[in-house]
Amino acid sequence: MKSRRILESFAARFIILGLNFGLLIFTTNFWGTEGKGTISLVIADLAIIGFFSNIFTGSSVSYYSSKFQAEQVVARAYIWSLISGVIFPVLLSWLHPMDHFAYLIGLSVSFSLLTTNFNLFIGRQQIGMFNLFSVLQQAIHLAVMLALIYIFNVRSVEVYFVALIVCYIILYVASSVLLLRGFKIFNITWSKNIFRNLFDYGWKSQLSAFLQFLNNRASFYFLEYFRGISSVGIFSVGVAFSEAIWTVSKSLSVILYSDLVAKDGSADAIIKTKISLRVSFMVSLLFLIIILLIPAEWYAAILGADFVQTKIIILLLAPGILAIAVSNIVGHYFAGINSLRILNIKSVIGLIFTLVTSWLVIPKWGLLGACVVTTLSYLLSSMVLFYRFYEITEFRMSDFILSKSELTVLITKIRGKAS
């Protein structure tokens, strides 16, 4: 794992983080709690659909792009993007009423196509391009949205979704130009073996991701049902600030996963995982402390008076957010070596806990109950993952603390990059 790639990924994630906060501040002030709640639920629906489309467009593209001809993998992913992008929004609309159904279809198709290309970057270890397009995704979305509002004077919350669709399409076309050069359409065959391998890896990895997402977002739907959509808007802002801590672990996880799938599980995989784990823990803890030191009044001043509870939400979510920031590293280790069963187990345990306790706690305690349930669920699922990881390797407290030499190297690399 090259230090340059790590630092570039950190830089990209921090730029994305800044753009996300800019988008968050704008949407909360421009559309308020109700508008933010609407956006959060549509994006949650998009994420649910994404887990089904990602069976062929997600990590299976990264994992098998170096094991089969890329044309074979990408062709199946694109076809599935078109099919799943229409079918699953229709199925989801039967489960709960939707006011933005047409936008959801546009988002689903364009997002799935772009996701295929993003995962092809990872599979080819083109982490620099992956980081660049990830930054552009946030920047273009924000730029198009502001243009629609202030140039074309369109001010409804639907502007958010139109801008996102335009962003996905632009980036899909641009990334396709870079990725598909040299592709030979006549090389595409419809082997059942390729389909079977993609499906087998894809559904297992997406089942875990889908269950974990439900675990992370079930509280949104319980809050909407028991307390109304405005409470979802308030809670989602607290969650967004807290989950910004995951910036570090996501950067490290992408690089670790890319290394493992490219090398079919190298001998030093556990060593790399533990180094990533240490960096993630220490840096995530530092950022979490900084966020918690921000006065509650600042959140209300920046986001609006309706968001005065943001500080207490972040405080209650903090232990679980830190646990997930570290366990994400371990999860990508298991995904990289194609050991997906433990990921499904930990996600099922966390989800069952969330569903049962949310039904009992949120009607009584509202937002605070949602925070407590989410934190305990994060801690529980992370403990399951750590237990399995340390069954196959020796546990040391030093796994969570950077040594003096490692800290010196990290600081030196950062200074060198900055200069």
For residues 375 and 317, is the Cβ–Cβ distance under 8 A?
yes
Question: What pLDDT does 270 receive?
Answer: 77
Q: pLDDT for 143-157, tens place per residue?
A: 999 999 999 999 999
Is 40 a residue whose pLDDT tops 70? yes
Q: How many domains does the chain have?
A: 1
Q: Whole-structure pTM over 0.95, yes or no?
A: no
Cα–Cα distance between 176 and 129 in angstroms, integer?
12
CA dist., res. 353 & res. 345, Å (int): 13
Range 103-107, long-range pairs (CB < 8 A, 24+ positions)? 103/42, 103/158, 103/161, 103/162, 103/165, 104/42, 104/45, 104/46, 104/49, 106/161, 106/165, 107/42, 107/46, 107/161, 107/164, 107/165, 107/168
Least confidently predicted of 57-66, 119-128, 238-247? 238-247
- pLDDT tens digits along 365-404: 988 999 999 999 999 999 999 898 888 777 676 666 666 6
- Dump pLDDT digits (tens) for 125-146: 888 899 999 999 999 999 999 9
- DSSP output for 83-136: HHHHHHHHHHHHHS--S-HHHHHHHHHHHHHHHHHHHHHHHTT-HHHHHHHHHH
pLDDT at position 3: 58
> What is the domain extent for residue 314?
3-418
Out of 191-195, 268-272, 321-325, give the one with best mean pLDDT.
Answer: 321-325
